[in-house]
A = this chain, B = another copy of it.
Amino acid sequence: MLLGSIEAGGTKFVCAVGDQNYQVKQSVTFPTTDPATTIQKSIEFFQQFSNLSAIGIASFGPIEIRRSAPNYGFVTSTPKPGWKDIDFVGPIQQALNVPVYWTTDVNGSAYGEWVAYQQAGQALDSLVYYTVGTGIGAGIVNDGHFIGSQGHPELGHVYVKRHPNDADFTGICPFHNDCLEGLASGPTFKARLGIAGQNVPLSNPTWDIIAYYVAQALIQTTLAFRPAKIIIGGGVSSESFLKKVRQQFKELLNDYIEVGRLEDYIVMPKVANNGSATLGDFALAAKELENNY
């Protein structure tokens, strides 16, 4: 028996098959182009395996996750050209004829981290997973279940208090200008400094500004969900960046509630090499399979 995973990002797709212990057996990565081509490539990858039992898909979005909705399984109002209102689950299920679990990219990663902590004998009762990269989003697992029944969280688009040294930046979110994603996603480095984030040294104060906004997002989810742990993935995240985030978080929370040691509370992903979503997808595929029998 093999389990399948599609990590469908706005830039690239990662398709993988794994065994019952969620060990990756084979994987392929290709750029996200138009929907027909990209979905067909995914199908062809999985058609190599006759013993594929189920697939988990963690997709960029927004997506429709309510199974009762007529457009369940669609990518919906994404600004990504060509992908608005595209049926994703339909063609996959039709071509491969296996159960599919469909969720957001960040939910997939959140679930992968949930499983990784369980596998390590450190099971958590709840966690929040943020990605801070091209965009910002969060997935939340509480007692094994995702938060969000009417729809998935969209925590990149909340508003935050402006950093005093960032007052003139208008923000880059096409919907909201200066929401969290508009102020703190990776591309804001280029918008502010004319240089891509990966080339901006950590000593540049823009990193402190970004950390200030990310810390406020973590305050929000801390006060809303009281999670056991917050995990920060995505291209902007690093152990050095998280040091800055923890420091700002500490000042902003001002010991109002107890969250334990910040080094244990705000952390990098446990799964190495951006593998959280693939692990999560395998586990969600296995869950879907179980629910189908």
Contact = CB atoms under 8 A, between A and B. Distances in A.
Contacts of A151: 226, 257-258
A10 interface: no
A225 B148 contact: yes
B153 A143 contact: no
B161 A257 contact: no
A149 B223 contact: no
Contacts of A160: 159-161
Interface string A188-206: 0000000000000000000
B154 A178 contact: no
Nearest to A156: B223
Interface in A150-173: 150-155, 157-162
Interface stretch (A24-32, A80-88, A214-222): A214-222
A227 interface: yes
A89 interface: no
B254 A158 contact: no
Determine the interface band of chain A, counting residues with CB < 8 A from chain B.
Answer: 35 or more
A175 interface: yes
A192 to B, nearest CB: 18
A125 to B, nearest CB: 5
A155 B224 contact: yes
A35 to B, nearest CB: 21
A184 to B, nearest CB: 13
A126 interface: yes
B153 A223 contact: yes
A154 B223 contact: yes
21 contacts: A125-B149, A126-B150, A142-B147, A143-B149, A148-B225, A150-B226, A150-B227, A153-B223, A153-B224, A153-B226, A154-B256, A155-B224, A157-B223, A157-B256, A158-B219, A159-B252, A161-B161, A162-B162, A175-B254, A175-B256, A220-B220
